[in-house]
Structure 1
Amino acid sequence: MKPTPRTFSHIGLSVPDLDKAVEFYRDVLGFYVIMEPTEIIEDDSDIGQMCTDVFGKGWSRIRIAHLATADRIGFELFEFEGNETPNDNLNFKQNGMFHFAIQDPNLEGLLAKIVAAGGKQRMPVREYFPDEKPYRMVYVEDPFGIVFELYSHSYELTYSNGAYS
């Protein structure tokens, strides 16, 4: 029996300043804050034990906040002690995640807000089907160097008609 597609629950991002990251994702991208920044320490509590299971011993303390998109996808933001900025924030040849995508029909308006808030535009806005359909995309960075993509239309609409053919 073929498995059915699963739903996407959330993504976790490591940021150097949790308060500024919550402000950016709330005020610029419009995400809902569902749990304000909270400190968790390495101890014998249930959450402390769970973090030790994930991070190993010696993680000491973290700050965490939970946000959500309009379509109920969670954004879990972590501020770890000793957080390190990578030398290459788009190491696309390394296994693992290298970007996520946000959809907004006013892609250029959101792009301007991201840049005004200290983010970066990584490329020109591209059209997938110039003169046929208004599908646009652009890669950006948040103010902390996390790379993500903006789409003007849904993933299914953008790719269902052979965007690469």
Structure 2
Amino acid sequence: MSNLQQYPRVFSHIGISVPNIEKAIEFYKNVMGWYIIMNVTTVNEEQETAIGQMCIDVFGTGWKTFKIAHLSTGDRIGIELFEFPQNIKPQAEFEPYKTGIFHFCVQDPDVEGLAKKIVEAGGKQRMPIREYYPGEKPYRMVYMEDPFGNIIEIYSHSYELHYGAGAYQHDIS
């Protein structure tokens, strides 16, 4: 056991598989405001380069090739977009009960405006915009879906503000 004090790790990036990387870049750039840090690159299954070796370690063999691009959010969180030729869209659109990541969340004080932009770009609004503390605090949220089937939650305020005040422990008497 180490004597080093534990500390909270910071988030580095998230990888998102999409059916069309060029359309995904356009959506995430124009709607979410994220910027490109590495343009679309084709990665081939081979063992001569470090990236080829790493991808074989991650994906195994038989994938042959895929496209990848890297974007960044305003707070420097990386977004890796992957387009695999053998991409399969899941049958069920939304399966939050299965173990694994089922959404990611972004923060925007204009929840309504961003939700509208997502819908106009081919996404879906999955629920009405809701308040955590109706009539008390302006903390709002909504679940959306991008044009590729990925679930995006939008918060009006920081995660700490939403939950630090005990959103689920609110006295309703």
Give your verdict on TM over 0.5: yes
Q: Is 1:90 matched up with 2:101?
A: no
Asked whether the equivalents of residues 89 and 147 of structure 1 are also in contact (C-alpha less than 8 Å), the reply is no
In structure 2, what is the equivalent of residue 38 of structure 1? 41
TM-score (ref. length: structure 2): 0.93
User: 1:112 Cα shift?
Assistant: 0.5
Q: Map Cα deviations across residues 51-81 of structure 1 (whole Å, 9 max, x no partner).
A: 0000001111010000000000000000011
In structure 1, what is the equivalent of residue 127 of structure 2? 123
- The one of 107, 113, 117 equivalent to 1:113 is 117
Q: Aligned letter for 2:54?
A: M
Query: Identical aligned pairs, as a percentage?
Result: 60
- The one of 55, 58, 65 equivalent to 2:59 is 55
Equivalent positions of 1:116-155 (< 5 A) are 116-155=120-159
Q: Is 1:26 matched up with 2:29?
A: yes
Larger radius of gyration: 2
C-alpha distance in 2 between matches for 1:94 and 1:60: 29
SS at structure 1 position matched to 2:29 = helix
Gaps of at least 5 residues in structure 2 are: none
- Structure 1: which 4+ aligned runs deviate by more than 6 Å? none
C-alpha distance in 2 between matches for 1:15 and 1:146: 9
User: 1:89 Cα shift?
Assistant: 3.0
User: 1:90 Cα shift?
Assistant: 2.1
